[in-house]
Amino acid sequence: MAVLACLNGETMPADQARVSIWDRGFLFGDAVYEVFRVYRGRLWLEDEHLGRLKRSLAELDFPAHALERLMDRVRRLIVASEIGDGTVYIQITRGVAPRTHAFPDPPVPPTELIVVKPYDDEPTARLRETGVRAITHPDLRWRRRDIKTVNLLGNVLAMEQAKRAGAYEAILVDQDGFVTEATHTSLLWVAGGRVHGTPEGWEILPGTTRNRTLRLVESLGIPFEAVHSPLADVLAADEVILVGTTSEVISITTIDDRVIGSGRPGPMSRRLWDGYRALVERFLAG
Ligand SMILES: Cc1ncc(COP(=O)(O)O)c(C=O)c1O
């Protein structure tokens, strides 16, 4: 199985793809991205990811992008790579232009990159059984976290600390002591039989997995509360759960050496995990 890239419409082994040093994605992080999960060669939550990509482009005032052609290329790349379980990475930059902060005027063609890679879920599957550790870390990011840009330094620095601590994720805490989300996953927690999460807004990325999970929560008749919460509330929760494209649904059992609930994945985590798997299986059967 090859790791293939499609760069501005041209397909090649990913290692051979080259971008100019004048690309604004390289110089300014002036770029947006998406990561799709592929199950048995099929794109999961396609409309949700595409909708978020469209929104990210619009929020950053990118010129109109040919999204149908993009998705055509994505589909052809999945077939060419012969991947069953994998991920699709899409990045669109504001293009190649002399280095000045303001947008190129007139606009230049965007740089469009698609990479299709196999994904082995085995290690994560084991973690879903045991639960994972997380650390807490200051949320150093900017005030438009709702846009999926490649400006990920705040996420990168926090995740590096998590890795050094042997943890799976870092829970980000803002300057007022409120939790936001994690570096590459959304955060939910359970207290008094209710699922809680930070309200959608500039503070967090609108997670596609979170949105799908919350629709599942609603369909199961479980109450959900969107609330800005201090870290202490999350530490005192019965269960804390991460959701994301490749993580899917994973229970956090320890945060900064503090044991959460029973120290094992709790009943809500299991219910949501089972429900999520059932949604994927139903999608694949359809
Ligand atoms: C900061 C952040 N929050 C949440 C998520 C989860 O989003 P999704 O469920 O769409 O993968 C991601 C995914 O990369 C992320 O980077």
- Burial, 8: exposed, middle or buried (Cβ in 10 Å; 0-12, 13-18, 19+)? middle
| Distance separating alpha carbons of residues 239 and 272, to the nearest angstrom | 12
Residue with token string 């794109």 = 43
- Tokens linked to 100: 């000045």
In testing the pocket of ligand 1, which one of 153, 186, 188 has its CB within 8 Å of the most ligand atoms? 186
CA dihedral 84, 87, 93, 95 (to 10 degrees): -30
Q: What is the pLDDT of residues 121-142, one digit of tens each?
A: 999 999 999 999 999 999 999 9
Q: Does the bond joining 267 to the residue before it have cis omega, within 30 degrees of 0?
A: no
Q: What is the pLDDT of residues 230-253, one digit of tens each?
A: 999 999 999 999 999 999 999 999
Classify domain 4-119 at the CATH topology level.
D-amino Acid Aminotransferase; Chain A, domain 1 (3.30.470)
Interval between CA 89 and ligand 1 midpoint (Å) = 13
Instruction: Please give all residues whose beta carbon lies within 6 A of any atom in ligand 1, as ranges.
Output: 35, 155, 181, 184-186, 205, 207-210, 244-245
Domain 124-285 in the same topology as domain 4-119: no
Contact 92, 110 (CB under 8 A): yes
- Model confidence at 2, in pLDDT bands (50, 70, 90)? confident
What pLDDT shows up at residue 49?
Answer: 98
Superfamily, domain 124-285:
D-amino Acid Aminotransferase, subunit A, domain 2 (3.20.10.10)
What pLDDT shows up at residue 1?
Answer: 65
- Tokens linked to 233: 């509330």
Q: What is the pLDDT of residues 41-94, one digit of tens each?
A: 999 999 999 999 999 999 999 999 999 999 999 999 999 999 999 999 999 999
Active site residues: 148
Segments making up each domain of the chain, as ranges: 4-119, 124-285
* pLDDT for 23 beyond 90: yes
Q: Does the reported pTM lie above 0.95? A: yes
CA dihedral 138, 141, 145, 148 (to 10 degrees): -120
In testing the pocket of ligand 1, which one of 245, 246, 250, 280 has its CB within 8 Å of the most ligand atoms? 245
Q: What is the mean pLDDT of the chain?
A: 98
- Tokens linked to 125: 């599957």
Q: Which residues pair with 116 in a beta bridge?
A: 4, 88
| Distance separating alpha carbons of residues 4 and 129, to the nearest angstrom | 32
- Tokens linked to 121: 């879920």
Contact 89, 7 (CB under 8 A): no
What pLDDT shows up at residue 109?
Answer: 98
* pLDDT for 197 beyond 70: yes
Average pLDDT over residues 207-215: 98
| Distance separating alpha carbons of residues 244 and 152, to the nearest angstrom | 16
What pLDDT shows up at residue 278?
Answer: 98
DSSP for 176-187, written as a single string: TSBEEEESSSEE
